[in-house]
Amino acid sequence: MAYMQRVRLTKDSNLDDDTTWRYKLPAVGKFTAFEMVINCNRHIQRTAHLTVQTLLEQVARIELLAGGAKALMSLTGLQLDAMNYWDFKRPNARRYRQEEHTDNINHLFLMGGRDLYDLDYGWDMSKLGETYLEYTYNLQEGTDEYFEADDHDVSLYGWRWMGPGEPSFQGYFRSRQIAAWTTVASAIKTIAIPVGNYVRRVAVQSKTRARTIGSAFSGLEIRANEGEFSPVVVKSPMAWVMSEVQAYGLHNVCGGIDYAVDGQISDVPTFFSYITDMQVSTYGTLALVVTPYGFITLPPRIRENAMTGTEAVFSQKGYGFQKCLRIGFDHEESGYDLLDARQLGSLDLICTAANADRAVAAFVQDVVKY
């Protein structure tokens, strides 16, 4: 009987800064996912109260490349984190901290199927051919509010079916960013979605600091065959991401340990586009008081009132993880609700801008058969 093995493939330490780390994946084996654990120390204790740098924001691209060029996956760190949130229905394990020389850790999963124990979809390495994982990043080594590359480690694990009776995968899920642009007020942007396969997810991301998804987009539409029909129309991004918490059973809480700068109003990470609650408490002392200062509108902030500075433990509850919105055809495990784009002449994502000068992106996931 087949069993699942989480096997460590490699660990590399003290990685150079501002580069691409490359690793050749096994030539055989059936993997449901490759798991990256990225660990890097912060450079110095936080001093800039309106500057927030998370580790994943420094990850420009994580890719799986077959034959050196064919992209099986190509996403930024934040986009992959959002994909995993939709995969597992909860945020990935992470450690966020802004104290000097303390570690920041992120777990990311390059999923080939629906979950870690998928029997139908995954990475069949013997069918993919020579495949590499590429991790592109810039930690801004030596800059005060960033990270230390000489304390930068990557561990890579594979979730592999082993033993007799291992499954025969039908295919894999391909995830790629297909567009990135800056909005023009009230302008309509049309993005071609690749056809020929089943489409599982279409997503957009608001990348501008302290701006919600709704600040970037006033409406979204999936349009087939140049307007013949529209399977999905989104009128309110906020209502859309709120409703999916119930539709998918999402766990919408995430947090960390930040540093409240002396007597200042300090930003904390924006894990959600729309934050409904934020809890804050001091770490390591009872004498100081740190309170939420803002989260109803972005950015979320905390305030330290004793003029001494202290670490603060915080948690956020909200909607629209990593300021990403999913249009999902992925609710049914059987694939019953997949969008069949095999016979379509065209499939477009129509994005209507709400405001100008918002940095945004679009990414998709489709099903590729072996």
Domain segments of the chain: what residues?
1-169, 174-370
* Phi-psi sector, 154: left (phi>0), alpha (psi -120 to 50), beta: beta
pLDDT, tens only, 12-22: 998 889 999 99
* Of 193, 196, 205, 186, nearest in space to 231 by CA: 193
What is the pLDDT averaged over residues 250-279? Answer: 93
Beta-strand runs (E) in 25-102: 30-42, 59-66, 70-75, 94-95
Residue 229: which pLDDT band, with cuts at 50, 70 and 90? very high
| CATH class assigned to 174-370 | mainly beta
Q: Give pLDDT, residue 29.
A: 97
Separation of alpha carbons 200 and 87, rounded Å: 12
pLDDT, tens only, 209-221: 899 999 999 999 9
What is the pLDDT averaged over residues 56-85? Answer: 96
What is the pLDDT averaged over residues 248-253? Answer: 97
pLDDT, tens only, 125-169: 999 999 999 999 999 887 888 998 778 999 999 999 999 999 999
Whole-angstrom Cα Rg for the chain: 21
Separation of alpha carbons 247 and 83, rounded Å: 16
Q: Give pLDDT, residue 288.
A: 66
> Structurally, what CATH architecture does the domain formed by 1-169 represent?
Distorted Sandwich (2.70)
What is the pLDDT averaged over residues 32-45? Answer: 95
What is the pLDDT averaged over residues 51-80? Answer: 94
The pTM (predicted TM-score) of the whole model is: 0.96
- 126 contact partners, CB below 8 Å, separation of at least 6: 27, 28, 29
pLDDT, tens only, 115-133: 999 999 999 999 999 999 9
Question: Which residue has better confidence, 337 or 294?
Answer: 337
Q: Give pLDDT, residue 201.
A: 98
